[in-house]
Amino acid sequence: MGWFDGWFGSDNSGSDPLRRLDPKLREFLEKESPVKYNTPTTTTTTQQNPPEPQTQQQQQQPPSQPQPHHNNNQPDAPPNAVPPASLYQDGRYAHLWKTYRPLAAIEAESKTDNEKLSDVLDAFKERKGLIGRAALENCAEEQVDWSACMKSGTWRARMTMCSDEVHRFERCYNAQSRLLKALGYLSVQGRNPEVDEEIQMRADELYHRMLSQEKEAERAREEGREVPVYKSLLEEKKMILPATMTTTDKGLEPNAAVVAMWKDRLDKLPPEEREAEEQALRAEHRAKAEMAAKIQGLWQEQAKEREARKAEGKETIFDRFSALAGSWSGPKST
């Protein structure tokens, strides 16, 4: 009457679900079943034989880390063996990234000479456009004042086409453009965008400092006091901004003749704006010199490729035309 034992709990072997089966059937199930059951004998033996206490030396040793299971189909990859484009920088799927090449590198190889030259010119134009956009962002308040004057300004302001607001905006735009160029905005390709944002905020801060200094000087003149002498706005830029923000290549600096040409332009500006304008002109000159150096490098590379094709006997008609054009332009330049 085994079911009475189940009611009153007198059967201690209830943990074995196979206890009432035929011995041969039970042996077959234990051998073939994917789920293995612990017999009461094993449980009793485990309870009777408690684990031996660990010695002091065994307690001090840290538990061994389980070895990860490696798939034989995937080779082991060291950490950081994948390009930045991968979402897993710990080395996973490194075998899939062995033949990876960025799209920009593939497109650069298939570009023609005219396309490479166009890229250099477009990069220079884009830099000038981005500097102008940053100056407009810093002069947002002046733009709002100008727009408000045109919509709901006084009768006198509308008759003069809001000339005061226009003059204020033009001065802000020109001053912000000078400061951005002088501080090295977008002067280094591939730089962290946060650096350029810091330069943009710094330019706006310097412009408003210049306005506050002008107000203090005007107030001193009205009160008959001595006008205070202020430091140059760009005097502390090397201490405030990191050294990587500006370029200091001496080969890109203007010569004495170029500096003499700038003198007339600088003399027409107020004294507080001359240094910023000079630094902006130097930055613009460096940008043009860098563009000219890149174009010269492209021309030299094209000449080497033409010579290589000529040596291999694969010279094209365009190569012959380029060689004739170079020979014609040579005597004229001397």
Residue 176 to residue 97: CA distance in whole angstroms = 45
Q: What is the mean pLDDT of the chain?
A: 75
Q: What is the pLDDT of residues 215-230, one digit of tens each?
A: 999 999 999 999 888 8
Domain ranges of the chain: 120-315
Q: Cβ atoms within 10 A of the Cβ of 196, count? A: 20
- Output the CA–CA distances (angstroms, integers) from residue 63 to 50, 58, 59, 66, 108, in the order listed: 20, 9, 9, 9, 54
Task: Decide if pLDDT at 202 tops 80.
Answer: yes
Q: Cβ atoms within 10 A of the Cβ of 203, count? A: 25
Check if the beta carbon of residue 36 is closer than 8 Å to that of residue 29: no
| DSSP designation for 76 | -
Check if the beta carbon of residue 162 is closer than 8 Å to that of residue 153: yes
Check if the beta carbon of residue 90 is closer than 8 Å to that of residue 79: yes
What's the mean pLDDT in 87-103? 81
Check if the beta carbon of residue 190 is closer than 8 Å to that of residue 104: no
Q: Find which of 86-95, 106-115, 203-212 is predicted with most confidence, using mean pLDDT.
A: 203-212
Percent share of the chain, pLDDT over 70? 70
Buried b / exposed e over 149-166, threshold 16 CB at 10 Å, is beeebeeeeeeeebeebb
Q: Cβ atoms within 10 A of the Cβ of 3, count? A: 7
Query: What is the per-residue pLDDT for 333?
Result: 39
